[in-house]
Chain A
């Protein structure tokens, strides 16, 4: 399977079509990750797109796959936080808007060909506090190592490990409340 970093290196050598592969590989997970912050697919799309544009403009020197992922997620994270600071979350979305956003989320899930268990996990994660959700996204949807996750989250690896542990505990509790046991997952 072609790796993102290979595409990125191709892009640096001037092959614009490589960007298409990068988008295909990372877009959906970036979107989900970003949507975890902004809770608005449209905004999440803009932010994820900005992250890719930043990658294309800055052309950072990246050599490993995990570096590329970490770079993209970090930009998404920072931009999402800035976005939240700038535009405080809307309160009380109209029912139509809620439905629309849910549909959009569902579309991403189906495009990612998520298994039912992953979908459940994803939805339950929405109920977690932001830092818990963030770290679980990076670990389990972004496939980042703990070291890279810590770097994206701007914390030490030790801290990240602790937060990830707490996040898993809380997620387990939530899933159990939903009626799922560890065996179901």
Chain B
């Protein structure tokens, strides 16, 4: 029979764990409500892993209106470039991507786009299951720093998720740029979303770029980043840490779309116009169906 001390210890320990879990669940639910109304839901999930989060943070530290994106965007894109490049470099120094055999149990996704368009449910599940310190930043800038750090290790599950989420965040910032209003305001209503779409359509000056339009170096960077990401995802998948799978695809098709992340990052603000178009159309779609919003927006943004 258990002693009183044993029982007490067990009760306290379990209660502590459950309390955190319950708070996290409540927090996640609230974020879901917030973000299902907009196209950048994925970015919100970053906050799930804040170690000392409280439900009240939702009000005080909202994702979409916490900062002034119009001033942060150029910096962000630059940092993203560094991040991507460093990730590639780090990967190259440790092991050339081409020499790493892929696991046979899963197939290779086509592009970074596919990584980013992971169903939001799955992203949330992974985020929640990750250890606490990987996604602690509340500001976008910090996140980029963390992304750089995480990707440079090129061996953790966090890297993929940070990268994917950063891509989503980038989309978010682009949405902010299309409107003078904060993104949260714009995206909170159908009317606002339509306005955003109309507004950004007027400002479009750069056509959507394809991989053929990109300089060879960028294509190269994209390919390598994709390989890095895929390796990490494969590890995750083989460890049973991904609650979803990828469809089989032909490796030869991987060049169909280029990661906007790279493009935007390298060329700065001016190159985001293409993405803006895509995002704005995604925003319009959001007004129609909430369910598909996130995926549509991300994939559009990546074209």
* A binding-site residues for B, Cβ under 8 Å: 16, 19-20, 23-24, 27, 41, 45, 49, 52-53, 56-57, 104, 107-108
What B residues does A19 contact at CB under 8 A? 8, 11-12
A52–B18 Cα gap in the complex (Å)?
13
User: A45 to B2, Cβ gap below 8 A?
Assistant: yes
User: Which residues in A have their C-beta under 8 angstroms from that of B11?
Assistant: 19, 23, 49, 52-53, 56
Contact assessment for B4 and A53 in the assembled complex, using a CB-CB cutoff below 8 Å: no
Whether A49 lies near B1 (C-beta < 8 A) is no
The answer to whether B1 and A57 touch across the interface, beta carbons within 8 angstroms, is: no
Secondary structure of the A side of the interface?
Answer: helix
Q: Is B142 an interface residue (CB 8 A)?
A: no
**Which one of B8, B15, B18 lies within 8 Å of A20 (CB-CB)?**
B8
Known: A104-B1, A107-B1. A49 touches B10 (CB 8 A): yes
B interface with A by C-beta (< 8 Å) = 1-2, 4-5, 7-8, 10-12, 14-15, 18-19, 22
Q: Give the top 9 A-B pairs by smallest Cβ distance, nearest first.
A: A56-B15, A20-B8, A52-B11, A57-B18, A57-B15, A53-B14, A23-B8, A23-B4, A23-B7
Residue in contact with B7 in the complex, picked from A16, A52, A57, CB distance below 8 Å: A52
Please determine whether B5 and A20 come into contact, CB atoms closer than 8 angstroms.
yes
Partner among A16, A27, A41 whose Cβ is within 8 Å of the Cβ of B4: A27
B1–A41 CB distance below 8 A: yes
- Chain B residues within an 8 Å CB radius of A45: 1-2
Contacts of A24 in B (CB 8 A): 4
Distance between Cα atoms of A23 and B5 in the complex (Å): 9
Chain A residues closer than 8 Å to B10, beta-carbon distance: 49
Q: Is the CB of A16 within 8 A of B12?
A: yes
**Using Cβ atoms and an 8 Å threshold, which residues of chain B touch A20?**
4-5, 8
Question: B19 — which chain A residues lie within 8 A by C-beta?
Answer: 57
Whether B7 contacts A53 by the Cβ 8 Å rule is: no
Given A56-B12, A57-B19, A57-B22: A27 and B7 within 8 A (CB)?
yes
Let me know if A53 and B2 touch, CB within 8 A. Answer: no
Interface contact B5-A53, CB-CB below 8 Å: no
Q: A45-B2, A104-B1 are in contact. Are A53 and B18 (CB under 8 A)?
A: yes
Q: Which residue of A lies closest to B14 (CB)?
A: A53
Determine whether the beta carbon of B15 is less than 8 Å from that of A49: no
Give Cα distance in the complex from A163 to B11, angstroms: 34
Residues on A with C-beta less than 8 A from B22 are: 57
Q: Are B1 and A53 in contact (CB under 8 A)?
A: no
Given contacts A20-B4, A23-B4, 12 further A-B contacts (CB under 8 A): A19-B12, A20-B5, A23-B8, A23-B11, A27-B4, A41-B1, A49-B10, A53-B11, A53-B15, A57-B18, A57-B22, A107-B1
Q: 17 A-B contacts, Cβ less than 8 Å apart?
A: A20-B4, A20-B5, A20-B8, A23-B11, A27-B4, A41-B1, A45-B1, A45-B2, A49-B10, A49-B11, A52-B7, A52-B11, A53-B15, A53-B18, A56-B15, A57-B19, A104-B1
Q: Once the chains are docked, how many angstroms separate the CA of A60 from the CA of B184?
A: 36
Residues of the B chain whose Cβ atoms lie less than 8 Å from the Cβ of A52: 7, 11
Q: Residue on B with the closest CB to A103?
A: B1
CB distance from A30 to the nearest CB of B (A): 10
List the B side residues contacting A104 at CB < 8 Å: 1
Rounded to whole angstroms, the CA-CA distance of A104 and B15 in the bound complex is 26
Q: Chain A residues with Cβ under 8 A from B18's Cβ?
A: 53, 57
B residues in contact with A41, CB < 8 Å: 1
Q: How far is the CA of A52 from the CA of B15 in the complex (A)?
A: 9
CA distance A35 to B5 in the complex (A): 21
In the complex, what's the smallest C-beta–C-beta distance from A12 to chain B, in angstroms? Answer: 12
> Which residues of the partner chain B approach A108 to less than 8 Å between Cβ atoms?
1
User: A45–B22 Cα gap in the complex (Å)?
Assistant: 24
* Nearest neighbor of B21 in chain A, beta-carbon distance: A57
State the Cβ distance, A20 to closest chain B Cβ, in Å.
4
Residue of B nearest to A107 (CB): B1
- The chain A residue with its CB closest to the CB of B7 is A23
Kindly provide the distance from the CB of B1 to the nearest chain A CB, expressed in whole angstroms. 6
- Once the chains are docked, how many angstroms separate the CA of A44 from the CA of B8? 16
List the B side residues contacting A56 at CB < 8 Å.
11-12, 15
